[in-house]
């Protein structure tokens, strides 16, 4: 099973120079995402599982984009440029050009086959070595083989691969297809590539013609049939991209369910490859977990919630909310309808409630921001209570400033805290206040107009209205007479 008593794979060449015309995109095909990562990054991961001496990605079309992406996500990878797209044989020739003479096994894969795993590649290399092949092709049985190269066999051996456009009617009826993933004897590949001709329907140098070359040397060519045929599927258009992306998501969800995560509706739940979930997490319908999100045991997320790069601690609940780059402490409650922007840090058992937006805000243990608030550039102390409709006015049109609310302080509803400003521990702010100066410990700040009542105003200014009638009745000490009451309803 292990490759330890064998030499390492000499090189993996990932072909990714193609034009990807059918994507109709200004983004290179292999940079399109599934489960939060580029197709190419999955191909690089699978190749890396072989721990080859060289890992080369062949770039061509939109190559600056592809090179930039690789430098970011896989700096260990070497790129080789295919200047003219003259077919898969030419692509591999370009890939190997910088590596000199190779002895040992060379694996060839594609940048647009994202579900292929490292385990499958390892098994292919094992089969290649076990059977003493010069070439081993990964194949699968396709319900609709149209467009793929067909595997022409003679008993257990592969005689050749014929492309759709070059195939006879009888060959087109073959349902075993070439996945485009191979192991070659490096020396055979090197001399075979030098002999390729472009005399075929597409005028391209076909990598698959190396098979005929190997057989001409009297060497064996084998095939490994993949039963999990989804792993062999390539992406050429956005319909295939969405199908494989849904399949990858199903596989990710199954893995988490097997590890003890409850997922009520897998059909409407999307979890990126990079997310980490603990046992006894519950995901309700309509949940999307993206990027470096992690969710600890006992937490319940959803319904209808998107978390991007969010840490959710044990037992927290997040309901119908959207959060990015935030930390939600143990036992904390978020939502429904909360918007947590980057830098939000909600303490243990804290609350960010309905129609609350937070940004760059540290909300202490047990502190509550329950309703209709904007809380930006703020520190809210443990156990503080922020009344409904409070606004942290952090921006004067030029600079952003900070607001501090001390521990166990109480901000009355509909207050405005104009930053920079500090409310000390154990202070009160009266409802409807606009706070522009510091409030000390134990103080009540009242910053609003004094209330003034003008007697008799309704009778003088609104005579004949139902309000005036109600006032008159109230002043007489009897109930107002209304039509509704006369009807007895
Ligand atoms: C190739 C195989 C076909 C197989 C299919 C699997 C050949 C001749 N045919 O078909 O048997 O069933 O893959 O998907 O090899 N590429 C380059 N440079 C090029 C041409 C292609 O880098 O000049 C890359 C593409 O970006 C892609 C891969 O090679 O990643 C396969 O190319 P594509 O054109 O999709 O495959 P076919 O030639 O149609
Ligand atoms: Ca082609």
Instruction: Map out the domains of the chain as residue ranges.
Output: 11-232, 260-445
- Which ligand is in closest contact with the Cα of 210? 1
Residues lining ligand 1, Cβ inside 6 A = 15-18, 58, 60, 82, 85-88, 90-91, 110-112, 148-149, 161, 163, 177-180, 206-208, 234
Confidence of residue 102 (pLDDT cuts 50, 70, 90): confident
Token code pair at residue 268: 């409407």
Catalytic residue, candidates 33, 128, 272, 371? 371
pLDDT single digits (tens) 226-241: 999 999 999 999 999 9
pLDDT single digits (tens) 316-355: 999 999 999 999 999 999 999 999 999 999 999 999 999 9
Q: Above pLDDT 70, what percent of the chain?
A: 97
pLDDT single digits (tens) 387-445: 999 999 999 999 999 999 999 999 999 999 999 999 999 999 999 999 999 999 999 99
| Residue 181 alpha carbon to ligand 2 centre in Å | 14
Q: Supply angle C-alpha 202, 38, 283, rounded to 5.
A: 135
The number of the ligand 1 atom at minimal distance from the alpha carbon of 111 is 30
Q: Above pLDDT 90, what percent of the chain?
A: 94
- Ligand 1 pocket test, pick from 15, 20, 61, 88 with the greatest ligand atom count within 8 Å of Cβ, gives 88
pLDDT single digits (tens) 158-176: 999 999 999 999 999 999 9
| Residue 166 alpha carbon to ligand 1 centre in Å | 15
Which helix (H) or strand (E) covers residue 327, if one does? Answer: strand 326-328
* Nearest alpha carbon to residue 354 among 368, 335, 340, 331: 335
The number of the ligand 1 atom at minimal distance from the alpha carbon of 234 is 14
| Residue 49 alpha carbon to ligand 1 centre in Å | 22
Rg (CA), the chain: 34
Query: Atom 11 in ligand 1: which residue has the minimum CA distance?
Result: 149
| Residue 207 alpha carbon to ligand 1 centre in Å | 9
What pLDDT score was predicted for residue 97? 96
Query: Atom 1 in ligand 1: which residue has the minimum CA distance?
Result: 180
| Average pLDDT of the residues of the chain | 95
What pLDDT score was predicted for residue 91? 98
Confidence of residue 481 (pLDDT cuts 50, 70, 90): low
pLDDT single digits (tens) 65-95: 999 999 999 999 999 999 999 999 999 999 9
Confidence of residue 484 (pLDDT cuts 50, 70, 90): low
| Residue 109 alpha carbon to ligand 1 centre in Å | 10
- Which ligand is in closest contact with the Cα of 149? 1
Under 8 Å CB-to-CB from 474, ≥6 apart: which residues? 480
What pLDDT score was predicted for residue 464? 97
pTM as predicted: 0.92
Is residue 371 part of the annotated active site? The answer reads yes
The number of the ligand 1 atom at minimal distance from the alpha carbon of 236 is 35
The number of the ligand 1 atom at minimal distance from the alpha carbon of 29 is 26
Query: d(Cα 111, Cα 113) in Å, to the nearest integer?
Result: 6
Query: Atom 13 in ligand 1: which residue has the minimum CA distance?
Result: 180
pLDDT single digits (tens) 115-162: 999 999 999 999 999 999 999 999 999 999 999 999 999 988 999 999
- Which ligand is in closest contact with the Cα of 200? 1
- 98-133: string of b/e by CB count within 10 Å (b at 16+)? ebeebebbbbbbbbbbbbbeeebbbebbbbbeeeeb
| Residue 202 alpha carbon to ligand 1 centre in Å | 12
Q: Are 11-232 and 260-445 equal in CATH topology? A: no
Residue 297 has pLDDT above 80, yes or no: yes
* Nearest alpha carbon to residue 12 among 115, 87, 124: 124
Is 458:439 a contact under the CB 8 Å cutoff?
Answer: no
Query: d(Cα 413, Cα 170) in Å, to the nearest integer?
Result: 79
Query: Atom 3 in ligand 1: which residue has the minimum CA distance?
Result: 149
Q: Virtual CA dihedral for 298, 304, 308, 312, nearest 10 degrees?
A: -20
Under 8 Å CB-to-CB from 483, ≥6 apart: which residues? none
Residue 63 has pLDDT above 50, yes or no: yes
- Ligand 1 pocket test, pick from 42, 62, 108, 180 with the greatest ligand atom count within 8 Å of Cβ, gives 180
Is 449:434 a contact under the CB 8 Å cutoff?
Answer: no
Residue 307 has pLDDT above 50, yes or no: yes
| Residue 87 alpha carbon to ligand 2 centre in Å | 6
Count of Cβ atoms closer than 10 Å to residue 352 Cβ? 30
| Domain 260-445 architecture | 3 Solenoid (2.160)
**Unique residue bearing structure tokens 């329950």:** 370
**DSSP states of 198-221 as a string?**
--STT----GGGHHHHHHHTT--E
pLDDT single digits (tens) 351-367: 999 999 999 999 999 99
Q: Options 3.90.550.10, 3.20.20.370, 3.50.50.60, 3.40.1190.20; which CATH number does 11-232 get?
A: 3.90.550.10
Confidence of residue 7 (pLDDT cuts 50, 70, 90): confident
First to last CA, the chain: 84
Under 8 Å CB-to-CB from 441, ≥6 apart: which residues? 406, 424, 425, 426, 427
- Which ligand is in closest contact with the Cα of 180? 1
The number of the ligand 1 atom at minimal distance from the alpha carbon of 85 is 23
213 class by beta-carbon count within 10 Å (0-12 exposed, 13-18 middle, 19+ buried):
buried
Q: Supply angle C-alpha 259, 262, 265, rounded to 5.
A: 125
């Amino acid at each position: 099973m292990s490759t330890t008593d064998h030499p390492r794979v000499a090189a993996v060449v990932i072909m990714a120079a193609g034009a990807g015309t059918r994507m109709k995109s200004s983004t290179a095909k292999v940079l399109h995402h599934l489960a939060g990562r580029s197709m190419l990054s999955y191909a690089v991961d699978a190749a890396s599982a072989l721990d080859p001496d060289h890992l080369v990605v062949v770039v061509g079309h939109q190559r600056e984009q592809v090179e930039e992406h690789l430098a970011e996500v896989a700096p260990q990878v070497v790129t080789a440029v295919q200047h003219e797209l003259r077919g898969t044989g030419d692509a591999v020739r370009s890939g190997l050009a910088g590596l000199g003479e190779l002895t040992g096994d060379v694996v060839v894969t594609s940048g647009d086959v994202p579900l292929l795993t490292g385990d499958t590649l390892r098994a292919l290399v094992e089969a290649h070595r076990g059977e003493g092949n010069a070439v081993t092709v990964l194949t699968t049985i396709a319900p609709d083989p149209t467009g793929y190269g067909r595997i022409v066999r003679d008993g257990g051996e592969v005689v050749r691969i014929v492309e759709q456009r070059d195939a006879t009617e009888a060959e087109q009826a073959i349902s075993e297809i070439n996945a485009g993933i191979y192991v070659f004897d490096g020396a055979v590949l090197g001399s075979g590539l030098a002999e390729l001709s472009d005399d075929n329907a597409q005028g391209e140098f076909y990598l698959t013609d190396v098979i005929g070359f190997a057989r001409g040397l009297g060497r064996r060519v084998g095939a490994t049939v993949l039963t999990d045929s989804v792993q062999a599927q390539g992406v050429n258009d956005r319909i295939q991209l969405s199908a494989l992306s849904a399949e990858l998501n199903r596989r990710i969800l199954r893995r988490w369910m097997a590890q003890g995560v409850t997922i009520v509706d897998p059909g409407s739940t999307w979890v990126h490859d990079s997310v980490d979930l603990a046992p006894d997490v519950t995901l309700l319908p309509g949940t999307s977990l993206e990027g470096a999100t992690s969710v600890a045991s006992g937490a319940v997320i959803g319904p209808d919630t998107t978390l991007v790069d969010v840490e959710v601690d044990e037992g927290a609940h997040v309901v119908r909310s959207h959060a990015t780059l935030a930390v939600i402490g143990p036992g904390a409650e978020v939502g429904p309808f909360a918007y947590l922007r980057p830098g939000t840090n909600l303490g243990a058992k804290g609350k960010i409630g309905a129609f609350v937006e937070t940004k760059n805000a540290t909300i202490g243990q047990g502190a509550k921001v329950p309703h209709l608030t904007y809380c930006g550039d703020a520190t809210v102390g443990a156990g503080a209570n922020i009344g409904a409709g409070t606004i942290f006015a952090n921006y004067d049109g030029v600079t952003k400033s900070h607001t501090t609310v001390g521990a166990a302080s109480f901000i009355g509803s509909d207050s405005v805290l104009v930053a920079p400003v500090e409310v000390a521990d154990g202070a009160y702010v009266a409802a409807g206040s606009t706070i522009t100066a510091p409030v000390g410990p134990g103080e009540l700040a009242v910053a609003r107009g004094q209330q003034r009542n003008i007697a008799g105003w309704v009778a003088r200014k609104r005579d004949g209205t139902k309000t005036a009638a109600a006032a008159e009745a109230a002043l007489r000490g009897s109930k107002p007479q209304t039509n509704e009451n006369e009807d007895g309803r």
